[in-house]
Structure 1
Amino acid sequence: MSSILTNNSAMVALQTLKSINGDLSKTQSMISTGKSVASAKDNASVWAISKVMEADVKGFKGISDSLSLGESTVAVARQATETVTDLLTEIKGKVVAAQEENVDRSKIQTDIDALTDQIKSVVGAAQFNGLNLVKGTDDMNILSSLDRNSDGSVTANNITVGRQDMTTDKGTFGTGTSLNANATASAVAATSTGNAENVTIATDADMSDNAVSITVAGTTLSFGAGELSGDQDAAAAQITGALNALGLEGITAAVNGTNANQIDITSTRGFEDVSLTATGATASAATIAERGESVDFSTSAAVNDGDGYKVTVGGASYDYIAGKGETMEDVAKGLKAAIDGAGLTGVTTNVSQDETTGQWSLKVDNDGSGSASLAFAAVGNAGGKASGGLFGLDSINVETNSGADAALANIETMISNSIDAAASFGSAQGRIETQSDFIGKLSDALKSGIGSMVDADMEEASARLQALQVQQQLGVQSLSIANQSPQSILSLFR
């Protein structure tokens, strides 16, 4: 049936042409934008996912900038600590040279002062964009990643770089919780008087048949049968003379003023217990205790940032305030540097660790050339400002024998601190570089993933465009033919 009111063929052709034009428009949009999903109406779920991922990529760009800034800051600090280590090594060479007595120590001290000033200059200049990692104790946090959880929440993670204080600052003693229980002084005074033990010769009117052997500080003095004459008192006097003739450093022997058959052996060695054994006689003890007094530090108590310990020697107090991550070893060595820096006449120090208990001790010896008796006490308080990692460098003085001796041990501690700081910065810089490389690869992977979801396949789009253009032409022709159908009805009325 033909109708001039309803042209079904034209309607079909028109709908087909509209569909072709719609597909053609979409294909042209894909070609012009390069995306198969350019907006939410194209594919809402894919578009949403791609936008979240694009936001993450943008965030990782900011993280990459943060890592670059952090890496540069750490690199400056690492270079500074390596330079400080080299300068401290030069100072050590000067200190070693000062151990000889026939050198011009005043000129050596001038060189040490110049190197010390250079170290301070390096530490002060080691900043990047105003941030100096070799001054103070506050850590630096570098944004390293954004972790997206399955519920959509985002967590920021940081790489923490610990500051390594390479200043010579004394620090500030705190007024917080008492730490007195963590440091115990062995005596109320450190004097020049040596410690003594004795050897008693058994009562015998005739010692000619007796053999006696005495070992002091690893050196053995032996008398065989027939070598001792007279009674026990005479033998004691003979052995006493022989012991003194050995010339053992810091060891003297004397016949007891009350018991003539007793030999008193005195040791003035400051930081060494002296062994004592006897055969054919009786020793009062197996060792003669060292003369130096000590501050023994707790083996169980933690050391926190700002914990300060103070030792009073004579009328003055010397303190050290611990920084982050330090131990009782650092406290003992810090106090040693503080006392050594005062240049007290006749006073020497030593730091040691008990091999059995692991306890660290600061020992102070007085040889009597200065004060006859030195007050000795130890206290501690929390809540202070930490001393610098090169604390004591300012007070190194090699112009005296005692100063040169003390400087040798103290400079080793400073070199160790500087090496540890450089190693810490080097490790942190390596971690930052690794994270930066990972962030770059992760960003590339995310971009690739986004592209696979929303980018158009240009080869397919090009081929489809040509096909749709042909379909459009055919659709136009089909619509033209369909529109001509009513014209044929006119022939029925001619």
Structure 2
Amino acid sequence: MSSINFNKNATAALSTLRDINNSLSKTQDRVSTGYKVGSASDGAAYWSIATTMRSDNKALGAAQDALGVGAAKVDTAYAAMESSIDVVNEIKAKLVTASESSADKDQIQLEIGKLQEQLSAIGQAASFNGENWMVASASASNTTVVDGFVRNDDGTVKITTAEYKVSSYAIFESVTDGVGTGGLLGSVMAIKLTSASTSGDISAYLDQVETALSEMTKGGAALGALSTRIDLQDDFASKLSDAIESGVSGLVDANMEEESAKLSALQTQQQLAIQSLSIANSSSQNILALFQ
């Protein structure tokens, strides 16, 4: 039975077209954005996980930036420590030369004095961003560098740090008017040869130099270990960041091959549904022919 008040076929065709248009809209959105879960309405669980992990990954990136700053501080301090060791070795060599009875100790002291000035210059220059690990008074007794960002099992987050004991390894306690005093090199800076210096005096000076070299070597080793720690953490953070991005991608990214195929199919279905609706609507015109 046909009715001019209600067209069952047109209603069915319209419903089908509406469903196809909704699916087509979602597919087009996925194709344009690249996300199958672009908002909480697309999948609250996956959207929540992805949002949290993106936030953590951003914090991890900031921690990596901080690692770069920490690495620069360590490299600056290590360069200063290494240069200081070289200069102290030169002073050691001068003292050995001075132990010869015929050596001109006053002339050797002139050379040692210049080397001592160089040590002060190294200590004063070993600063990065206003922080100098070679001069104890210019930095905190124990300084730290950021080396990671961690999310705990209970959902809380924390920043991890690595420590360097400036008070134990600073070559100077302070540098005043360009002259370093105290610290690991305090006794080395006090060396002063004269023509009256005896072999016993020189031997005592050599003992002081050896002690300073031993402590500076420990400081250099501590800086080297910290540098290795930072390099390893930076490498791990890069890999971790990639893994997080990959995991988030698996949760929310659209399969573009699949979505492309689906888009083509839906566009074909849409054309067929429009044609079907047109045919259903034309049935009422056939009724008019009965009255002619």
1:165 paired residue number = 170
Tell me the distance in 1 between the aligned counterparts of 2:112 and 2:34.
69
Q: How far did residue 122 of structure 1 move? A: 0.5
The structure 2 residue matched to 1:438, chosen from 236, 247, 256, is 236
Corresponding residue to 1:394 among 182, 189, 207: 189
Residue equivalent to 1:457: 255
> In the aligned structure 2, how far is the partner of 1:27 from the partner of 1:161?
55
TM-score by length of 2: 0.91
Deviation at 1:168, TM superposition (A): 5.8
Give, as a single letter, the amino acid of the residue that structure 1 aligns with 2:219.
A
Superposition pairs for residues 260-271 of structure 1, below 5 Å?
A: none
* Alpha-carbon distance between aligned partners in 2 of 1:79 and 1:44, rounded to the nearest angstrom: 52
Distance 1:405 1:157 in 2: 46
Preserved contact between residue 77 and residue 134 of structure 2 (Cα < 8 Å): yes
Tell me how far 1:408 sits from its aligned partner: 1.3
Q: Aligned in 2, Cα 1:169/1:130: closer, same or farther, shift over 3 Å?
A: closer
Aligned equivalents of 2:31 and 2:174: distance in 1? 68
How much does 1:452 deviate?
Answer: 1.1
SS in structure 2 of the partner of residue 92 of structure 1: helix
Kindly state the Cα deviation for residue 449 of structure 1 after the two structures are TM-superposed: 1.0
Q: Which has the higher helix share?
A: 2
- 2:223 pairs with 1:425: yes
Please name the residue that 2:30 is paired with.
30
| Higher Rg | 1
Match in the other structure for 2:178? none
- Specify every segment of 5 or more residues in structure 1 that has no aligned partner in the other structure, as ranges: 171-385
The CA deviation string for residues 124-169 of structure 1, in whole angstroms up to 9 with x for no partner, is 1011111111111622222222211233211211122222210165
What amino acid is the match of 1:34?
G
The aligned residue for residue 135 of structure 1 is 135
Counterpart check, 1:487 vs 2:282: no
Q: Quick one: distance in 2 between partners of 1:149 and 1:457?
A: 32
Q: Which residue of 2 aligns with 1:93?
A: 93
1:242-253 equivalences in 2 (<5 Å):
none
SS of corresponding position for 1:161? strand
Q: How far apart, CA to CA, are the structure 1 residues paired with 2:23 and 2:146?
A: 47
Deviation (angstroms), 1:387: 4.5
Structure with greater strand share of residues: 1
Q: For 1:32 and 1:169, locate their aligned partners in 2 and report how far apart those are by CA, in whole Å.
A: 62
TM-score (norm 1): 0.55
Cα pair 2:30 2:254 within 8 Å, conserved:
yes
In the alignment of these two chains, the number of paired residues is 279
Counterparts of 2:256 and 2:220, CA distance in 1: 54
Root mean square deviation of aligned Cα: 1.7
Equivalent residue number for residue 475 of structure 1: 273
**CA-to-partner distance for each residue in 1:418-441, whole Å, 9 max, x for gaps?**
111111111111110110111111
Of structures 1 and 2, the one scoring higher in RCO (CA 8 A, sep 6+) is: 2
* Separation (CA, whole Å) in 1 of partners of 2:203 and 2:192: 10
Cα distance in 1 for residues equivalent to 2:120 and 2:72: 21
Unaligned runs of 5+ in 2: 176-180
Residue 212 of structure 2 corresponds to which residue in structure 1?
414
For the 8 Å contact 2:135–2:174, the answer to whether it is kept is no
